[in-house]
Amino acid sequence: MKEISCKLLVIGAGPGGYVCAIRAGQLGVDTVIVEAGKPGGTCLNVGCIPSKALIHAAEEYDKIRHMAEGQSPLGISLQAPPSLDLAATVAWKDGIVGRLNSGVSGLLRKARVKIVQGRAAFRDGKTVEVQTETGMQVIRAEMVVIATGSKPVELPFLPFGGPVISSTEALSLTALPKKLVVVGGGYIGLELGTAFAKLGSEVTIVEAAAQVLPQYDGELVRPVQKRLQQLGVRVLTGAKAKGLASGGDALLVETSDGKEHTLQADKILVTVGRRPNTDMVGLEGLDLDRSGPFLRIDDQCRTSMRGVFAIGDITGEPMLAHRAMAQGEMVAEIAAGLKRGWDKRCIPAVCFTDPEILSAGLSPDEARRNGLEVRVGQFPFSANGRAMTMLAEDGFVRVVARADNNVVLGLQAVGAGVSELASAFALAIEMGARVEDIAATVHAHPTRGEALQEAALKTLGHALHI
């Protein structure tokens, strides 16, 4: 097979890699992208998109089921309880994923990016070999972008297989597990655990830390804990998974008081984190500096090797698709000769639990740890008209600002649908807004976004609706 030579070679067509390739193509850079699986990576195939599809389906089902039970204050009732065909739900989800897969491929082609299907292995820093269906393809490039992403962490005493599944398998279950135990109370475990609870599974969450979602402060997590209780989800904090029971139908757990428990389970979902895919063939021969398990990069995503970039999960926390996308776009522009550098002020993070948690910039504690004197303003959704009309008054919006000049350092929210406020939060921080800027911006009524304006007013000491 003839060798391909190109200017930019992107390895991995996840959100970081495909965005990088599309942007490079737009800028006229001769670009090739290599992907072993389907385009879109973890995010599109087994992460963000399918999980949100499942979460949405679960929410709808949960609502209708409550209406059928005659519990709806909206005056809506059903004569018979709804039924769930999980296989159909998963097929619908797969349809969305499929549409997006072909969408990404189309965008790459439109940007004149050559797509090579297969697994890439480094021969040297500028050459890779790809095992394709039609044989070995050698690609030489002036610049290489490693965007190989991450995969779920496996616990040595609880290897994947049989009843033990990762998030990938959880998103493709065609039959609902009657009893589901989730090991790991981070955002992936809680999102999926909540969804399965709404679909009708009996869910137990096992978390080693003292609180679920340990990366968030207690105030933000409290509404989520309350909702988990309402949904009947059992939460064991300070508890360690010890392994499968001998029959393979239960998980052994040690709680904080030192007692062992046996949790019956049809499925055990392990979501204890993700690790970078650095086991790519030939990568070890490249002598790339590491930062812990990740590849070390500078503010232009350059690795320690000239002409080799790395983006996305392989470069470390936060392992979020939108971070990878922003890095990919930047690297493409650098490859095209433009002057770019990573100078983002915040990477918003969303937790699609019920209710949702949104965080951008610094929390009050983080700001104080950085030696900053802050003023904090908080406005509850219980005083927001739109929240009342949607039967979801739990949660609040919080503003963290510098005490000396009111520049916004951080914005957090917890509540139904607050993920859609991420744009406003990130924009305010990137623009260097002061609290007065948010307070002086007319916010549409009636929306949840009004809570942002009110929280800003509260920070200034004159909230209007509380």
Partner 1 sequence: MGEFTIKMPDVGEGVAEAELVEWNVKPGDPVREDMVLAAVMTDKATVEIPSPVAGVVTWVGAEIGDTVAVKAPLLRIEVPGYDDGSSSGEDEGDTPVAAAAAAAPVAAASSSNEPKAAPSASVGAPAPRPSPLPDSQRPLASPAVRLRARESGVDLRQVAGTGPAGRITHEDVELFLTSGAPQPVASHGPARNLRVEEIKLTGMRRRIAERMTLSASRIPHISYVEEVDMTDLEELRTTMNRDRKPDHPKLTILPFLMRAMVKAIARQPEVNATFDDNNGIISRFGAVHIGIATQTPTGLTVPVVRHTEARNIWDCAAELTRLADAARSGTALREELTGSTITITSLGALGGIATTPIINHPEVAIIGVNKMVVRPVWDGTQFVPRKMMNLSSSFDHRIIDGWDAATFVQRIKTLLETPALIFIED
Q: Is 338 in the site for partner 1 (CB under 8 A)?
A: yes
Return the structure tokens found at 163: 């009843």
Q: Is 159 in the site for partner 1 (CB under 8 A)?
A: no
Residue among 188, 154, 157, 193 at smallest CA distance from 177:
193
CA neighbours closer than 13 Å in the CB half-sphere of residue 216: 27
Among 2, 259, 339, 462, binds partner 1 (CB under 8 A): 339
Total binding residues toward partner 1, as defined by CB under 8 A: 17
Strand partners, 164: 161, 268
Among 38, 65, 323, 434, binds partner 1 (CB under 8 A): 434
Among 26, 105, 363, 406, binds partner 1 (CB under 8 A): 406
Residue among 312, 412, 294 at smallest CA distance from 362:
412
- The sign of the CA dihedral 198, 203, 204, 205 is negative
Find the shortest distance in angstroms from Cβ 404 to partner 1.
5
Strands 250-254 and 260-264: antiparallel
**Piece of 62-70, 86-94, 386-394, 402-410 that binds partner 1 (CB under 8 A):** 402-410
Q: What is the DSSP letter of 161?
A: B
What's the distance, CA 208 to chain centroid? 21
Among 229, 404, 420, 465, binds partner 1 (CB under 8 A): 404
Find the shortest distance in angstroms from Cβ 407 to partner 1.
5
Return the structure tokens found at 236: 């064991």
**Piece of 262-270, 274-282, 387-395, 424-432 that binds partner 1 (CB under 8 A):** 424-432
Tell me if 152 sits within 8 A of 183, measured CB to CB. Answer: no
Q: Is 337 in the site for partner 1 (CB under 8 A)?
A: yes
Q: Is 134 in the site for partner 1 (CB under 8 A)?
A: no
In sequence order, which residues have a C-beta less than 8 Å from that of residue 35 and are 6 or more positions away?
12, 13, 17, 41, 115, 116, 117
Q: Is 76 in the site for partner 1 (CB under 8 A)?
A: no
Q: Is 443 in the site for partner 1 (CB under 8 A)?
A: no
Q: Is 340 in the site for partner 1 (CB under 8 A)?
A: yes
Q: Is 431 in the site for partner 1 (CB under 8 A)?
A: yes
Active-site residue flag, 56: no
CA neighbours closer than 13 Å in the CB half-sphere of residue 206: 27
**Piece of 168-176, 188-196, 381-389, 399-407 that binds partner 1 (CB under 8 A):** 399-407
Per CB under 8 A, residues contacting partner 1 are 337-341, 343, 345, 404-407, 430-432, 434, 436-437
Residues known to be catalytic: 445
